[in-house]
Amino acid sequence: MNELNVRNCRLIELPKIGDEKRGYLSFMESLRSIPFEIKRVYYIYGVGDSSAMRGEHAHKENLEQIFFCINGSVTFLLDDGERKDEYELKDPNIGIYIGPKLWHTLVNFSKDAIVLVVASDYYTEELYIRDYDKFIEYVHRGE
């Protein structure tokens, strides 16, 4: 498993039980394989345009999320304001942990991609940074 070079980001590996004949089972548990209590779950699917981009934002506060591509593949473009990285998520038991102050964009969705996301808090629009220039200012102010 590759390591990522940006802050507030790492790969999470879930257990993978089974074999090729019977298939596999992976599971996640709050405060065990997932390093926070899960308060929200959402998923992205049906992305029909290969040029579509999702995400394109960062979070101000302590929101933690883990993205799993449980079917197909998707590429993450990651930016902590100083370093950038890219990672193709394609194994259903491997997730990308995204912490606060990390700009993330999802691109190159396969037609069958399903991305499952678990989050540490409820949705609060005020905690999102949706303008890249404001994100850079926010990071460099050290808030």
- At residue 106, φ and ψ (nearest 5 deg) are -105, 130
- Grade residue 143 by pLDDT with cuts at 50, 70 and 90: low
* Residue 1 belongs to some domain of the structure: no
pLDDT of residue 62: 84
Mean pLDDT taken over the chain: 95
* Residue 3 belongs to some domain of the structure: no
Q: Do the beta carbons of residue 11 and residue 95 sit within 8 Å? A: yes
* Residue 2 belongs to some domain of the structure: no
Q: Do the beta carbons of residue 117 and residue 97 sit within 8 Å? A: no
| 41 Cα distance to chain centroid | 12
- At residue 36, φ and ψ (nearest 5 deg) are -155, 170
Separation between Cα atoms, residue 124 and residue 17, nearest integer Å: 36
* Residue 112 belongs to some domain of the structure: yes
> The domain spanning residue 24 has which CATH number?
2.60.120.10
The residue segments making up the domain with residue 95 are: 9-141
DSSP symbol at 136:
H
Number of structural domains, the chain?
1
Q: Which residues are catalytic?
A: 57
pTM: 0.94
- At residue 119, φ and ψ (nearest 5 deg) are -130, 150
* Residue 4 belongs to some domain of the structure: no
CB within 8 Å of 80: residues ≥ 6 apart: 6, 7, 8, 9, 101, 102, 103, 139
Q: Is 127 helix (H, G, I), strand (E, B) or coil?
A: helix
Q: Is 104 helix (H, G, I), strand (E, B) or coil?
A: strand
Confidence check: pLDDT of 123 > 70: yes
Q: Percentage of the chain surpassing pLDDT 90?
A: 91
* Residue 31 belongs to some domain of the structure: yes
pLDDT of residue 61: 83
Per-residue model confidence as pLDDT tens digits over 20-56? 999 999 999 999 999 999 999 999 999 999 899 999 9
- Grade residue 58 by pLDDT with cuts at 50, 70 and 90: very high
pLDDT of residue 90: 97
Separation between Cα atoms, residue 99 and residue 119, nearest integer Å: 10
pLDDT of residue 7: 93
